[in-house]
């Protein structure tokens, strides 16, 4: 009788551990988070880690597969004059906790030297890849890139423009 009880206990423990392993292997569900419409994003300030304004969101680019590869910023200039449009990988941007601005780990000087955005270049894959690499990211559509980057509003693991890790 003791052997049967001991055997039963061992089977129950084994089944319990197996069930825990199956549950542990299941991916955790991610929360939806807050969603934003284009109207809410247009005109949103983009700040760097020093809280300097780098520009404002002017447009969002959506590819044919529904990814959001770029935000287009108006950078530089005063009162809408003398600045330029710059494409920034959307995955390089993050939201501040209150949703009042977006954050980009770059200096004003880096954006000054960024390639100017031209809508005619949107179908040029080389241009798009160059923009991603300018900001230290691997394009999501290339080998080694992640489709999770496209429009995920995540951060890169690159060193900060200011010497530390991002965020």
Question: Tell me: the pLDDT tens digits for 153-162?
Answer: 444 333 444 4
Please tell me the pTM assigned to this model.
0.68
Q: Indicate the pairing of strand 93-95 with strand 84-89.
A: unpaired
For 20-43, write each residue's pLDDT tens digit.
Answer: 343 344 455 556 677 778 888 899
106-119 per-position pLDDT tens digit? 999 999 999 899 99
Q: Tell me the domains of the chain and their CATH numbers.
A: 38-149 (2.30.30.240)
The whole-number average pLDDT for the span 118-124 is 92
In terms of pLDDT, which residue wins out, 80 or 131?
131
Name the residue with tokens 């496209």.
150
**Averaged over 139-149, what is the pLDDT?**
71
Q: How confident is the model at residue 16 (pLDDT cuts 50, 70, 90)?
A: very low
């Amino acid at each position: 009788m003791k052997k049967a009880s001991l055997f039963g206990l061992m089977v129950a423990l084994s089944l319990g551990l197996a069930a825990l392993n199956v549950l542990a292997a299941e991916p955790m569900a991610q929360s939806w988070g807050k969603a934003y419409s284009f109207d809410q994003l247009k005109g949103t300030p983009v700040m760097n880690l020093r809280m300097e304004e780098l520009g404002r969101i002017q447009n969002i680019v959506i590819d044919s597969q529904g990814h959001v590869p770029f935000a287009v910023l108006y950078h530089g200039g005063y009162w809408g004059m003398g600045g330029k449009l710059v494409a920034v990988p959307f995955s390089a941007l993050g939201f501040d906790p209150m949703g009042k601005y977006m954050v980009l780990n770059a200096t004003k000087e880096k954006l000054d030297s960024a390639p100017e955005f031209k809508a005619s270049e949107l179908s040029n894959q080389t241009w798009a890849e160059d923009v991603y690499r300018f900001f230290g990211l691997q394009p999501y559509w290339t080998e080694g890139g992640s489709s999770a980057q496209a429009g995920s509003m995540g951060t890169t693991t690159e060193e900060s423009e200011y010497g530390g890790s991002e965020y």
